[in-house]
Amino acid sequence: MAVPSPSVASRFDYRTYAPNSSIAPHLHDAPSLTLVLGGGYEERIAGRTALQREGCALICPQDLPHAQRFGARGARKIIVTPGPALLDYLRTTTMFSSAPSVRAAPIGKLARQILAERSLDDAFSGAAMEGAAWQIAALLGRGVTGASVPASSLVRRACRAIAAMDDQPIAIAALCREAGCHPATLTRAFRRELGCTPGDYQRRLRVERAVRLLRDTAMPLADVAAACGFCDQSHLARSFRHVLGCTPSDYRRRA
């Protein structure tokens, strides 16, 4: 009896990189989810430098410039090109356009399972790899939101309050009343769980909204800035460069 394959599957590519090599700034025409199997490298992406090691899962958005410099052991990766359902899930559960990255032992284990299934390549391998990719997506989402950290309920309350503020300036006092904590406690929790301050988080949300408008509409940049809560077009450009490492005009040309 023939075994049906999953109707919507992701693509899984295995790649190796030579020790002490590098890749100049470049971009891709499709988004991807990278799983680091071994070695490590320094990656410059979205205006920051991150160290990617075994057990890391990271998103590389479409048309976002990035560069890599590999260490003495080189690197081994699985590059996942998500199917439509998985891609939609990642977009709605992570700060997708800011190229989030999470490292956890279960991610490394699942990545090795994907590699083993890729080598086996039988009638069940596609479903097994797809299932492992969804588990990794869940771990990535939890890591990005801090959902596995005990104090994260505090951060989640604050994040909901920030989202409800929409384009209004953030008021730390009001935010702390909503979260039920002292400002210093909230700031420490944000830095620990999300790697940013509450103000940074609001800026990321605004940039996310600007990305959607730039990608899906022909709205002038000044109107995009106003719609997303920025003071003016220059404020939008500064925040956009800080979060994504490029200007709104550059992003729209590549989108």
Distance CA 82, CA 2 (A): 25
What secondary structure letter does DSSP report for 148?
T
Distance CA 84, CA 10 (A): 8
CA distances from 220 to 188, 213, 238, 248 (A): 37, 10, 17, 11
* pLDDT reported for residue 148: 41
Spell out the per-residue pLDDT of the chain, length 255, in tens: 444 444 458 999 999 999 999 998 888 888 999 999 999 999 988 777 888 999 999 999 887 888 999 999 999 999 999 999 999 888 877 878 778 888 888 999 999 999 999 999 999 999 999 999 999 999 998 877 654 434 467 777 888 888 887 667 778 888 888 888 888 888 888 877 666 788 888 888 888 888 888 888 999 999 999 998 888 999 999 988 877 777 888 888 876
* pLDDT reported for residue 197: 84
For the chain, domains (ranges, CATH) are 11-145 (2.60.120.280), 152-254 (1.10.10.60)
* pLDDT reported for residue 121: 92
* pLDDT reported for residue 149: 38
Alpha-helical segments (H) within the chain: 84-93, 105-120, 125-145, 152-165, 172-179, 183-194, 198-216, 221-227, 233-244, 248-254
* pLDDT reported for residue 164: 81
* pLDDT reported for residue 222: 93
What secondary structure letter does DSSP report for 168?
S
Residue of 70, 82, 139, 138 whose CA lies nearest to 105:
139
* pLDDT reported for residue 146: 54
What is the b/e burial string over 103-128, where b = at least 16 CB atoms within 10 angstroms of the residue's CB? bbeebbebbbbbbebbeeeeeebbeb
Contact indicator for 212, 224 with CB cutoff of 8 Å:
no
Reduce the DSSP state of residue 13 to 3 states and report it: strand
CA distances from 134 to 71, 111, 131, 149 (A): 29, 11, 5, 21
Which pair of structure tokens corresponds to residue 171?
A: 């008021």
Residue of 159, 107, 115 whose CA lies nearest to 137:
107
* pLDDT reported for residue 152: 60
Contact indicator for 43, 53 with CB cutoff of 8 Å:
no
